[in-house]
Structure formats: structure tokens, C-alpha cells
Amino acid sequence: MRRTLFEDDHEAFRDSFRKFVQAEIVPHHDEWEQAGIVPRELFATAGRSGFLGIEIPEEFGGGGVRDFRFNAVMDEELMGCGAAAAGLGLSLHNDICLPYFMAYCNDEQRARWLPGIASGELITAIAMTEPGIGSDLASMTTTAIRDGDHYVVNGAKTFITNGINSDLVITAVKTDPAEKHKGMSLVVLERGMEGFERGRNLDKLGQHAQDTAELSFTDVRVPVANLLGEQEGQGFAQLVGNLPQERLSIGYAAVASARYALGLTLEYVKERKAFGTPIGSFQNSRFVLAELDTEIDIAQHYVDACVRALDAGELTAADASKAKYWCTELQGRVVDRCVQLFGGYGYMTEYPIARAFADARITRIYGGTTEIMKEVIGRSLGL
């Protein structure tokens, strides 16, 4: 069934971004996998090329276009070349962090931060998760206690994507530790603030080119001018308001990653022979691949509909949770069955399907686990 999500402008943008990916990411991806991090220059190059901050107003160096379809194109192209890990930082910067700056910055903050976000000179991250609390954000213990014109921030965060490279970290804190949800606020911590330390670049199962770090805060003095929103206590509502786009971004990328894995496998089974016959000609192979192709197409049309709903301001938390839950679970099923069709070679890390398998496992966890997504959906049913 033909897709109708994209228009000519999006396809022209795809052409440009595909060339960027082939020139600036693909040749270096193995090197970055070994290093465990992409160079900061990747963000600056992407910024100079017009691939960061597409919705940032032109006066601040952005594209001035609010249209998530451009983000979707980038996610598809990054997944389509097997650069899930290297591209995750760019997606986080555009899809997940930028909306907070666009929605909650005042005029002074916009002038201070948006030009650097658009140019790639200021790399962004968001710090919610703490050791031991998982998705239970209301139980966080990182505090920001007001002292005159500053907050004094103490605590720790973990599993922070862009944790090493980031310059601006949207940090969930308790400005009123006596409260749960109502005590949460978002403040922006900046590179170089005294007492703001980065721990080790975490050694992960997959997504090796993506820097994921622990962050610690010891009496970090953060200007009150770095509070996002008009007043304290809005943090939980701000997070809830932006989670649908975050979860759609993850689900959308999961579909693109599944399609990439399917493409690798189709190519392989047409060439690989067993008993003198291409393994793709066996009935089992045809049935498996037919099932995967069908499921991917169905998921694609759902996330395309979600993109339209997002741009229309109509994407609900439940629908975004369905996209995230179903599509990341689908991604896991697809890469697992594709590895099986590769046989022993699928277990070898020199084959891209093995990397896709390892990279896929986290998507059912970050951005809210599958179990949390089901809880959101279940509550939307009045249960």
C-alpha cells in the first residue's frame, strides 16, 4: 500500500540528508562504535548543513518549520544505513530535547540557547532517570533548593544519552522535596558548572557509538534564570506534555530499523545457499519473511498516522504509547527472526544484522518500558 505521508519538500530533504549520512556517518561508524562516542564535530557539521533545529525560528539560525515529517525522514535515513547508535544523539537533540526549549523557554532563554542548538555548538540531553528508580520519576531524590538567585542542585542521574557530549542538560529535580509530582521542576544545567561531574561512558550491550553516561551534581549553583517554565512545580506536567513525541520518535525509528533488518535478510537469503538452493526459496523462509514484511507495513501506516496527529496537535499519550510499545516489540521480533535466517553468521558482529540485534534491545526499555506503555494504554480505557 502506497505511503502518502511525505510531500516533495520532504523527499528533497531526504535526498540531502541521505548524502550527508553517506558522507559524514557511514564511513566512520565502525570507528565510533569502537570509541563508544561520536565526535562533537558531527553535531556542528549537521548544524551547518541545516539538519538541526528545523523548527527553531530563522532569527535564531533554525529552519523555522514546525513539521515532524522532516524529523521522521532523518530517523528513517539513519536507521536505513545501520547507523542507529551514531544517529541516536542527533535524534535525541532534534526530536526529544528541542521541544522543551521551544515550549518552555522565555525570550531571554531562547536568545541564549536556540542559536547554539541550531548550529550544533550546544549539544542537548535530558536527565530524568536516577539509580534505583527506573520509571518512577516522582520518587527522584535530585534536589534544587533555592538560594537567592540560584538553585543548589544535588543528586545523580544515570543512563543519560549524549551524557558525555552534552552542553545543555534538561534536568528533572525536586524544587520541593516534600512533594511528589507537584514538587518537580526542570532546570537546565550547563557544561562547566562547578560540581557538575560526568561519570564513565557506560559500557552497553548495544548502541556502542552513543555516549551514555552517569551524571552527578554536588552543590551545583544553577541560576534561577535556567528554570524552564514560568514557575516551579511544573516539571511533571512538562515531561508528560513532551513524552508523546518522544515515544513516537522511538516507535517510528523502530519501524525503520525493522525494515532495515528485513532488507539485509532478504539480500542474504537470495544469495546464501543450503543443499544447493538459495535459503530464501524454502517455504519456511518465504513464510517468515512474508509475515515480517506484513507486520512492518501495518506498523508503518500506524506511525505515519501518528505523525499526522502530532503535527495536528492531536496525538494522545495512549496512541503514542501504542506506537512505542507495539513497534519496539515488533523491532525485537523482526531482528531476532532475521538473525535466525542468517544462521551462525547472524551471531558474528562483523555482520550488520548482529549489530541491529544488539542495538534493538534497549528500545523496549528507554523512553518508558513496554510495561509502562501498557499501563498508560490500560488507564486510557478507564481501567
What is the predicted pLDDT for the residue at 1?
81
Helices of type H across 130-282: 235-271
For residue 317, pLDDT over 90 is answered with: yes
What is the predicted pLDDT for the residue at 346?
97
What band does 64 get if pLDDT is binned at 50, 70 and 90? very high
Mean pLDDT of 284-305: 98
Helices of type H across 81-188: 84-91, 98-104, 107-119
Q: Is 11 assigned a catalytic role? A: no
For residue 136, pLDDT over 80 is answered with: no
What is the predicted pLDDT for the residue at 134?
72
Mean pLDDT of 309-333: 98
Helices 68-80, 8-24: inter-axial angle, 10-degree rounding: 40
What is the predicted pLDDT for the residue at 138?
79
Mean pLDDT of 118-140: 90
Work out the percent of the chain whose per-residue pLDDT is above 70: 100
What band does 288 get if pLDDT is binned at 50, 70 and 90? very high
What is the predicted pLDDT for the residue at 133?
80
What is the predicted pLDDT for the residue at 132?
82
Mean pLDDT of 87-109: 97
Q: How far is CA 189 from CA 37, 62, 166, 336, in A?
A: 21, 22, 10, 39
For residue 139, pLDDT over 90 is answered with: no
Q: Give residue-wise pLDDT tens across range 340-364.
A: 999 999 999 999 999 999 999 999 9
CB 127 within 8 A of CB 169: yes
What is the predicted pLDDT for the residue at 193?
98
For residue 130, pLDDT over 90 is answered with: yes
What band does 377 get if pLDDT is binned at 50, 70 and 90? very high
Average predicted confidence (pLDDT) for the chain = 96
What is the predicted pLDDT for the residue at 117?
98
What is the predicted pLDDT for the residue at 273?
87
Kind and range of the H or E run holding 317? helix 317-342
The residue annotated as part of the active site, out of 55, 130, 246, 295, is 246
Strands 212-223 and 196-201: antiparallel
Cell numbers at residue 19, please? 548524502
For residue 135, pLDDT over 80 is answered with: no
For residue 334, pLDDT over 80 is answered with: yes
For residue 253, pLDDT over 90 is answered with: yes
Lowest mean pLDDT among 81-95, 134-148, 156-170: 134-148
